[in-house]
Amino acid sequence: MEMLKKLFSLEGKVVVITGGAQGIGKAVAEHIAAVGGEIVIIDQQVEKAEETAFEIGQKYQRKTFAVGADVTKPEEVALAIEKADREMGKLDLLFNNAGIVLQKPVVELNPEEWRKVIDVNLNGIFFVAQAFGRYLIERNKDGAIVNTASMSGTIVNYPQQQASYNASKAGVVQLTKSLAVEWADKGIRVNSISPGYIFTELTSFVREDWRALWKELTPFKRMGKPEELAGAVIYLLSESASFATGTDLIIDGGFTIV
């Protein structure tokens, strides 16, 4: 019964969302506010993050805060967490979501390009999770983290060639499991979501013929909407998922099962 009252509620929780200025992070942030959460957006696009935080705050009458940081820079991440804690009074949960994609054949990829994708998508997820884990552990606080991986951590996309992205996301899935085990006795749950093709700024610039093929290859015959991921993130962050850790929730319109 106690569980039922709290089902999918994030009432009173302060939730940090990286990459929340736009796309999946923004849509999920809005839904988190709708179920009672207060929002901190960490993004390198500071002005856009501020606008998003303000918009959500107004719409749902919640306290929100935006702070600029590049997730590949551990010192900036630590400072952002410190500022957010000072502003909000506490931090409870993390949606660790900032990421980039690069579609380029391996033979044409230069070392900087490879490093950049791994740096944002894997190192960035690690630095933010590490800073947030430290924050919770230093305060002896329970908490939960959801990392954004991708179905690309499980399958190889086609026809676009994006080995750096795929490798980085497979890394996120395994990092999630490692953190889940390492922090299980600290009361910190760590899970990931693996979206299929979702229509956001990230995918809106992609060639039309590729997008048509993606839809064709997806049993639902369409791309997902960012808000279709919100329920999964809210579930994994909420007390409803109190026995779930190290899991990767694939939300892909059936793409990976055919």
State which of residues 17, 32, 99, 160 lies at the interface with ligand NAI (CB under 6 A): 99
- State the minimum distance, in angstroms, from the CB of residue 72 to ligand NAI: 5
The residue (of 9 and 247) whose beta carbon lies closer to ligand NAI is 247
Contact predicate 147/172, CB 8 Å: yes
Among 17, 24, 56, 173, the residue binding ligand NAI under the rule CB under 6 A is 24
DSSP state of 159: S
| Of 175 and 198, CB closest to ligand NAI | 198
Among 11, 75, 82, 201, binds ligand NAI (CB under 6 A): 201
Contact between 97 and ligand NAI per CB under 6 A: yes
Within 10 A of 108 (CB to CB), how many other CB atoms are there?
8
At its nearest, how many Å lie between ligand NAI and the CB of residue 239? 25
Find tokens 């991986």 and name the residue: 149
Give yes or no: 150 in active site.
Answer: yes
- 169 a catalytic residue: yes
Ordered DSSP codes for 44-77: S-HHHHHHHHHHHHHHHT--EEEEE--TT-HHHH
Residues 6+ apart with CB under 8 A from 152: 162, 165, 166, 169, 170
Q: What is the DSSP letter of 219?
A: T
CB 205 within 8 A of CB 23: no
Choices 18-26, 29-37, 103-111, 137-145 (CB under 6 A): range interacting with ligand NAI: 18-26
Active-site annotation holds for 192: no
| Rounded alpha-carbon distances, angstroms, from residue 63 to 36, 55, 203 | 10, 11, 30
Q: Binding mask 213-252 vs ligand NAI (x if CB under 6 A, - otherwise)?
A: ----------------------------------------
Q: Closer to ligand NAI by CB, 138 or 216: give it.
A: 216
Residues annotated as catalytic (active site), given as ranges: 150, 165, 169
